[in-house]
Amino acid sequence: MKIKDIETSRLLLRAFTKEDALWAYSIWNNPEMGQYLPDEAKEEIDDEYLSMLEGLGEDEDCCYLIPVFKNSLERVGTCSFMVSDDGKVYDIAYCVHKNFWCQGYATEIAQGLIEYARRQGAEKVTIYVNQENTASNRVAQKCGGKIVSESTYKKRGTDIIMKDYKYEILL
Q: What is the pLDDT of residues 84-132, one digit of tens each?
A: 999 999 999 999 999 999 999 999 999 999 999 999 999 999 999 999 9
In this predicted structure, what is the pLDDT of residue 107?
98
Sort 144 into a burial class: Cβ within 10 Å, 0-12 / 13-18 / 19+: middle
Residue 51, domain member (yes or no): yes
Residue 138, domain member (yes or no): no
In this predicted structure, what is the pLDDT of residue 67?
98
Residue 58, domain member (yes or no): yes
Residue 151, domain member (yes or no): no
C-alpha torsion angle, residues 148, 126, 19, 23 (rounded to 10): -30
pTM, full prediction: 0.95
CATH number for 87? 3.40.630.30
| pLDDT tens per residue, range 23-80 | 999 999 888 998 999 887 777 788 888 999 999 999 999 999 999 999 999 999 999 9
- Residues whose CB is less than 8 angstroms from the CB of residue 137 and which lie 6 or more positions away in sequence, other chains included: 129, 131, 165
Q: What is the CA radius of gyration of the chain?
A: 15
In this predicted structure, what is the pLDDT of residue 123?
98
Q: Determine how many CB atoms are found less than 10 A away from the CB of residue 9.
A: 9
Range of the structural domain that residue 25 is part of: 6-124
- What's the number of domains the chain is made of? 1
Residue 66, domain member (yes or no): yes
C-alpha torsion angle, residues 29, 30, 33, 36 (rounded to 10): 50
Residue 160, domain member (yes or no): no
As beta bridge partners, residue 92 has: 81, 127
